Structure 1
Amino acid sequence: MRQQLEAFINLAARYEATERPGDYIGDEGLYAQLHRVEPTVKRILRLLDPELPDKINIDQMAGVAMARNEVQRGLGILADMDDWATRLLPDAPSLPADRLHPWVWEPAAPLWAAEARQDAVLAAARTVNRRLQQKLNRHDIGETDLCMQSFDLKEPVAGKPRLRFPGGRNTPTWRARQEGAKYLAAGAFLAIRNVAAHEDVVTWSEQEALEHLATLSVLARWIEECTVESAT
């Protein structure tokens, strides 16, 4: 990132040095190069500070000079990032989104990249539901009822197979996992999927949306871990 920003500043300096009075394009070769790198520079600056790219538009009068100033600020952030990481941020683990369960991140990733967080969460929830339907070969009921029935402790009956965690089924821990998965799964679809699907605009922060994806990722791992038990 630093190399890209420094290259932009060098181009801007060369462009400004060759600009002639009344000619806001100056050296067309340099101007074209600035145009080519402008989108990448704005993307880098947005990662450093979402407000930095707002003033970058080299087609405006004095646009190159304004852009150069914003890029300088970005370089200043980069120069201090190591110190920030050491001195200002809490000593806490991070959650890489691309390591969420693939049923969750693969459908969510392109929408997340487009900053459509609500749609990303909805796409992930729908994919988890489809995987659950496929695993149980059930397409006759909604996702909340399907979760409640799938993890239920009752014996399977015709047309209603169950999901079963591995382990000894007579232990309190095993029963707790089954019951907990049942209610977490149903709650995820009621409180996350339905909100994303039925509200026009959900004001989730990036952190909140990521936590919703993480919840769906936990559910996806449980569904994949369980075996299907059908009535004999």
Structure 2
Amino acid sequence: MDHAYAVETLTDFLGDVKAHLFHLYNPLLGDLAANVTPLQTRERDAPPEGLTLKLMRARQIVSAYLPYALDELSQYDRKMDTYWEIVQRAATEALGLASSAEEIAAFLRPASPSIAAEELHPWVWEPAAPLWAAEAHQDAVLTAARTVNRRLQQKLGRHDVGEMDLCMQSFDPKPPTEGKPRLRFDGDRTTPTWKARQDGAKYLAAGAFLGIRNLAAHEEKVTWTQQEALEYLATFSVVARWIEECDVEAAP
């Protein structure tokens, strides 16, 4: 439901209703001066055509928030004061619901965890933080990716291949060769789980550089939202933790 549209429409409508009711009640001033007690449902002039058209739209919105609020309108004519008082009351209540709908929905929504940026791996958040504070989210992700790559190069002592190739070679379960050491998780290397973990780290790390770092580096401006950029930082945080966790295994 478009609550913003409902708020705008009902606010405009209620302004016209207030003006119409003021017009309806003004004749009562003469009655009061003559000590005549008017009936609440006294018949007045027909409502303006513009107000009648707005009423059709407003009734649908009111019914969406308060399905039965306008049921009693069928008892009254549109020329009667009571008709418009009922409409005003119902529209005001619906406006209140529309105005607070998103806030109430957020309150009733189940609590969900959130990513604390400052708790990301320091290789990621420390270089990214100043750029993030400047709302340069693309540059923040790129800087974090470059930092993770430099840390990987330093740990393995390799500067001869690009990020993607280095990740594919580093986590590969195959034995290391001369000049190509590997990163190894702890655990029993004879189990399928250990091998799956190595392969998973290999492809995730390589994919992060291919799908995130390269886009940030080669596109002049990406269309990432702040949430998307934070998720990309979290991806590199995972890669960084794996790199730091693993031992280096070199060829004999």
Q: What's the TM-score, normalizing by structure 2?
A: 0.58
The secondary structure found in structure 2 opposite 1:212 is: helix
Percent sequence identity over aligned pairs = 75
Aligned to 1:91: 111
2:139 to 105, 119, 124: 119
> Within 5 Å, which residues of 2 pair with 1:65-144?
87-144=107-164
Paired amino acid for 2:242:
W
Deviations 1:194-224 (A, max 9, x none): 0000000001000000000000000000000
Deviations 1:84-130 (A, max 9, x none): 69715541011110000000000000000000000000000000000
Deviations 1:33-89 (A, max 9, x none): xxxxxxxxxxxxxxxxxxxxxxxxxxxxxxxxxxxxxxxxxxxxxxx9xx7697155
Aligned residues: 151
Q: Determine whether 1:227 maps to 2:247.
A: yes
Q: Structure 2: any 5+ residue segments left out of the alignment?
A: 1-99
Aligned to 1:147: 167
Q: Determine whether 1:160 maps to 2:180.
A: yes
1:180 to 194, 197, 200: 200
Q: Structure 1: any 5+ residue segments left out of the alignment?
A: 1-79
Larger radius of gyration: 2
Q: CA deviation at 1:172?
A: 1.0
Q: Aligned equivalents of 1:128 and 1:84: distance in 2?
A: 42
Runs of 4+, deviation exceeding 2 Å: 83-86
1:202 to 215, 222, 229: 222
Q: What's the TM-score, normalizing by structure 1?
A: 0.63
Paired amino acid for 2:155:
K
C-alpha RMSD of matched pairs (Å): 1.5
Q: CA deviation at 1:193?
A: 0.2
